[in-house]
Chain A
Amino acid sequence: MADNVKQIASAADFSSLLASTQYVVADFYADWCGPCKAIAPKYVELAKQHSLPGFMAFAKVNVDTVQAVAQEYGITAMPTFLFFKDGKKVAVNGNAMIQGADWNTLRLASEKMARLAKEKAIAAGGAK
């Protein structure tokens, strides 16, 4: 079931997403940042393809309007993509984070997480 990108409005919003979804990709961006705009439509496509409520979500965090979260994760360059499993930041394919609009690395990392999320979803469904 596809879903849209989750626009994070506050620190509480982000915590709540991390608590409710096993695998989360977060895009830390700014409105005035060119590379962020360039990769945005591709991020939307990833969300449409791989989102799975409860298991996989794609979030967007505006570093200017949700400063607390940007500072908490020490964001210094945009876009920065972070990955979370069970609420904790994790590395995917050896990348603790992706800095810059690196589409290929982002795509591969997202696809990997999506596969893991799908396995969990199937396992959860089968357990019923």
Chain B
Amino acid sequence: MSGLKAGDAFPEGVSFTYIAPTGELDLTACGLGVQYDASKEFKNKKVVLVAVPGAFTPTCQEQHVPSYLANLDNLKAKGVDQVIFIASNDHWVMAAWGKANGVKDESILFMSDPGTAFSKSIGWTQGDRTLRYAIVVDHGKVTYAEIDSVRGSIANTGAEGVLAKL
């Protein structure tokens, strides 16, 4: 299978792992890694799923996450319930990346695509890492699915690019 496209149903059996943010409790509580049943959760939400080659890697760190942080209100205005970043990194690294970006709540969730299982299933991987892609799932249906293959560019997968197509 090569990629998802607008109009497809989001596949069944997709799950990621993540650590629920502990927000203000950071000093008094430890997060626990849990499984996120994406196929089930995406059936009743509008979600932007962004995959990046690696947490803390240059383009992702300097442009990608900031573009979403800056546009959360704009995305909500267009009915987006949740923004989720995934990468091949394990959920511990993803949780730390979220904290490094100052995200203490569930506004943006940082999850692991363990073994790049999901990304592999749609053919959007490069070696052990995922490609840089963004997918919008609206109540189970894929309404946007694009890759950015130009090095350093987030034209299709950054918040502005996705917003333009919502």
On A, residues with C-beta under 8 Å from B are 30, 32-36, 63, 70, 75-80, 99-102
Interface Cβ pair total, 8 Å cutoff = 40
Extra inter-chain contacts (18) besides given A77-B25, A77-B30, CB under 8 Å: A30-B30, A32-B30, A33-B30, A35-B27, A35-B29, A63-B32, A75-B32, A76-B31, A77-B20, A77-B29, A77-B31, A79-B29, A80-B29, A99-B29, A100-B29, A101-B28, A101-B29, A102-B28
Across the interface, which residues of B come within 8 angstroms of A30, CB to CB?
A: 30, 32
Number of chain B residues close to chain A: CB under 8 A: 10
Closest to A74 in B: B34
- The CA of A99 and the CA of B20, in the complex, are separated in Å by 12
Query: Closest approach, in angstroms, between the C-beta of B152 and any C-beta of chain A?
Result: 36
Residue B39 lies at the interface, judged by CB distance under 8 Å to chain A: no
- The CA of A102 and the CA of B30, in the complex, are separated in Å by 13
User: Considering the complex, which residues of chain B in the window 121-153 have a beta carbon less than 8 Å from any beta carbon of chain A?
Assistant: none
- The CA of A35 and the CA of B22, in the complex, are separated in Å by 13
Query: Closest approach, in angstroms, between the C-beta of B84 and any C-beta of chain A?
Result: 16
Query: Closest approach, in angstroms, between the C-beta of B43 and any C-beta of chain A?
Result: 19
Query: Closest approach, in angstroms, between the C-beta of A60 and any C-beta of chain B?
Result: 15
A35-B32 contact in complex given A77-B20, A77-B22, A100-B22, C-beta closer than 8 Å: no
Please list 30 pairs of residues, one from A and one from B, whose beta carbons are closer than 8 Å in the complex, sorted by A's number.
A30-B30, A30-B32, A32-B30, A33-B30, A34-B30, A35-B27, A35-B28, A35-B29, A36-B30, A63-B32, A75-B32, A76-B20, A76-B31, A76-B32, A76-B34, A77-B20, A77-B22, A77-B25, A77-B30, A77-B32, A78-B29, A78-B32, A99-B25, A100-B22, A100-B25, A100-B28, A100-B29, A101-B28, A101-B29, A102-B28
